[in-house]
Amino acid sequence: MEDAAAGHAEDGSRQPDRSRTQRNLMKKTRFAEALLAVTAVATGCATAPVAGVDARTTLTASTETVQALAECPELPSLPTAGCGQITVPRDRADPGKGTIDIGFALVPHTDTSQPGLGTIVPNPGGPGSSTIDLAGQQFAESLEPLLDRRDLLLIDTRGVGRSTPLTCAALDGPTRVFVSLPEQRQLIGECGEQLGDAVSDYTSIAVADDVDAVRATLGLSRLDLLGISYGTYLMATYAQRYPQHVRTVSMAGAYAINVDSVGEVNAVAFRRAVRLVCERTGECNGDRVISDLAALMKRLRKSPEKLDITYDGVKHRVTLDEWQMTSVAGRVYSSRPDTKVELALANAAAAARRGNLTPVRALVRDSLIALADNYSYGAAILSDAQSWAVTCHDYLRDFDYADPVAKRTRQYAAVQAKLISADFAPFSAVAWVTRADYDTGACLRWPNDETAQPPFAPGATMPDVPVLVLSGDLDANTPIESGDAAAAQFPHATHKVIAGAGHTPACTTEGVNEIIKFIRDAKG
C-alpha cells in the first residue's frame, strides 16, 4: 500500500490557494462548533449508566459526530467519508511554539441497522506518507468486508498531506535521488537546519498523541490499529502509550523499536529472496545470481562510471558505483514483488560478468526515475522533510548528536569498521548499510537534538491484546527476522509468513484476508 502514490501535489514554493484555505477553515469551524454541541449532549447523558455498556465496549463514532464532519469533495473515491481537522500543539511540552492542524477522514460503517463494532485506524508507512490521499481508497477497498460494522478512520500524520505539510528547501523535489552518498547526507543535514526549532517536533510519539487526540475528539473507545511498514513502528508506539484504547494491532512488514532493522538481517533476507525467486520461476540459479552480483560489485568498486539521466527536462550526472548499484539491487527486494524486475536484476548481473553493462545501466536509470516520480508529488503525498525528521529523531544511531560532525563521523566509521563484509554478501558491509534508502549515517549532519531517542525503552510494557504480524518471504526491507522481533515486543502475538509476498504482505490477497479475519474474529 505504501508505494502507490497517485496524483500531484502543489509545489511548496507556489503561492497558497486562498480559496481552498478559506474553505478548509470554514469546514474546520463548522466541525468544531457541531462537535461542541454533540459533546454537550453526550456529557449530559453520562450520569446515567447505559445498559450493556462497560469499559471494554468498542464504540464507533456517533451519528451526530459523523453528521458534524464536512463533506470531502477532494475524495471522490470515498463518497461517504466525512472530513475534519483538529488543532494540536506543535510541541506539547512547549505550547508557546504554536500549533498545527491534523486532518482526518472518517468512512462510517454502512450497516446502520446494527450497533457498530469499532474503528480501524491504518497507516501506510513511510514515514512521510499521506494516509488519506495516498492510501485511503486502497484501505477502504481492501478492508471492505469489515466496513459494514466498522468505521475506517484515516489520519494524515503531522507534516504530511492534510496535516500542515512539512517542507524544507534542501529536500524540495526529487534532486536527492540523483546525488552521491556524501551529497545526500549534506542535503539531509541542511534540511534539519532549515527546520529550526521544529526539528524535534515530528516524532512517532507526537504522531501517536495526535492519533489519540483525534480518537478522543470523535468519542471513540478502542481502536483496531493497522500498521504497514513504518506504520508498525507507529502503532507499537501508540499501543505502548495508550494501551487502554487498543483492541487489536495488525502489523504488515513489521520491525521492532530498539532493534537494528537495516543491517545483516536484511542482507540475509536479500539472499533468501533471490534464491526463492529463482527456485519458483525456474529462470535462474540463486547462487549463481549472488555470485554474479558479487563480481559486479567488485568491478564497480574498482571502476565506477558516470551515467547521464534526464528527469523532467533536467540532466543529472550520476555515479554508477558499488553504493549506487547496491541501493538499486536492495530496492528490488524492498517493495512489492515484481518478477520481471527481479529477473532483470539477475540477467543484468549475468551480462555484466560477460562484460556488458548496458542492462545494468538501464536498471539503474529506471530505478532512479521511478524513485524521483515518488518524490515529485510533494508533501501533500510524500514529505521527505517529515520522513527524515522522524528518522533522525527516533531511530538508533552509531554516534552522538552532542558531538561535532567530525567526531560523529569518526564514531560512526569506527562502528562500520567492525562489520564483516562476508555477512553482507554479495555486497560490501559499508555499501549495504549506507544504501540510499536506508543509510545508517544519513543523519550525521543533523542538528543537535537533545530529545532524540526511540519512542520507548527496551523492555517497556506493552498491552496484552491480540496482535498479528505478517512478513513476506521475499521482503529484504522488513524481513521475517524483523517480524519476529516486532512480535516479541508484545506478550502474545501471532507471526505469519506469507509466501511470495514482499514489502508488504498487506499488498497481497492472502495478507489482506489474514488481517480481515484477525480483526473480525479477535476477542476482547
Beta bridge partners of 468: 250, 494
> Residue 420: its pLDDT value, please?
93
Sequence-separated (6 or more) residues with CB below 8 Å from residue 371: 174, 177, 331
Measured CA to CA, the distance from residue 187 to residue 180 in angstroms comes to 11
Amino acid type, 362 = A
* pLDDT score of 167 more than 90: yes
Measured CA to CA, the distance from residue 238 to residue 246 in angstroms comes to 9
Give the residue-averaged pLDDT of 6-10.
31
Measured CA to CA, the distance from residue 84 to residue 94 in angstroms comes to 25
Bridge pairing between strands 150-155 and 99-107: antiparallel
> Residue 4: its pLDDT value, please?
36
| CA geometry: angle 474, 480, 485, nearest 5 deg | 155
Lowest model confidence (mean pLDDT) among 18-32, 231-245, 249-263, 355-369: 18-32
> Residue 56: its pLDDT value, please?
53
3-state class of 250 per DSSP? strand
Rounded to the nearest angstrom, the gap between the alpha carbon of residue 296 and the centroid of all alpha carbons in its chain is: 31
Measured CA to CA, the distance from residue 134 to residue 142 in angstroms comes to 14
If you average pLDDT over every residue of the chain, what do you get?
Answer: 90
Give the residue-averaged pLDDT of 459-478.
97
* pLDDT score of 2 more than 50: no
Q: For the purposes of burial, counting CB atoms within 10 Å of the CB of 426, is it exposed (0-12), middle (13-18) or buried (19 or more)? A: buried
What band does 57 get if pLDDT is binned at 50, 70 and 90? Answer: low
Torsion angle of C-alpha atoms 49, 50, 55, 57, degrees rounded to 10: -170
What band does 20 get if pLDDT is binned at 50, 70 and 90? Answer: very low
> Residue 210: its pLDDT value, please?
98
What band does 46 get if pLDDT is binned at 50, 70 and 90? Answer: very low
Amino acid type, 99 = T
Measured CA to CA, the distance from residue 413 to residue 398 in angstroms comes to 9
3-state class of 478 per DSSP? coil
| pLDDT tens figures, 301-344 | 999 999 999 999 999 999 999 999 999 999 999 999 999 999 99
Give the residue-averaged pLDDT of 473-501.
97
Give the residue-averaged pLDDT of 192-207.
98
Strands (E), 198-347: 223-228, 246-252, 305-311, 314-320
* pLDDT score of 12 more than 80: no
| pTM exceeds 0.85 for this model | yes
* pLDDT score of 237 more than 80: yes
Is 211:244 a contact under the CB 8 Å cutoff?
no
Measured CA to CA, the distance from residue 158 to residue 389 in angstroms comes to 11
Task: Retrieve residue 54's grid coordinates.
Answer: 462497560
Is 274:281 a contact under the CB 8 Å cutoff?
no
> Residue 523: its pLDDT value, please?
87
What band does 160 get if pLDDT is binned at 50, 70 and 90? Answer: very high
Give the residue-averaged pLDDT of 95-105.
97
Cα separation values, 129 from 3, 119, 377, Å: 9, 21, 11
> Residue 30: its pLDDT value, please?
42
Instruction: Annotate 219-232 with b (16+ C-beta within 10 A) or e (fewer).
Output: bbbbbbbbbbbbbb
| pLDDT tens figures, 255-311 | 999 998 778 999 999 999 999 999 999 999 999 999 999 999 999 999 999 999 999
Measured CA to CA, the distance from residue 307 to residue 364 in angstroms comes to 9
Give the residue-averaged pLDDT of 421-431.
96
Measured CA to CA, the distance from residue 214 to residue 209 in angstroms comes to 9
* pLDDT score of 78 more than 90: yes
Alpha helices, DSSP H, located in 46-119: 63-68
> Residue 73: its pLDDT value, please?
85
Task: Retrieve residue 243's grid coordinates.
Answer: 494501551
* pLDDT score of 450 more than 60: yes
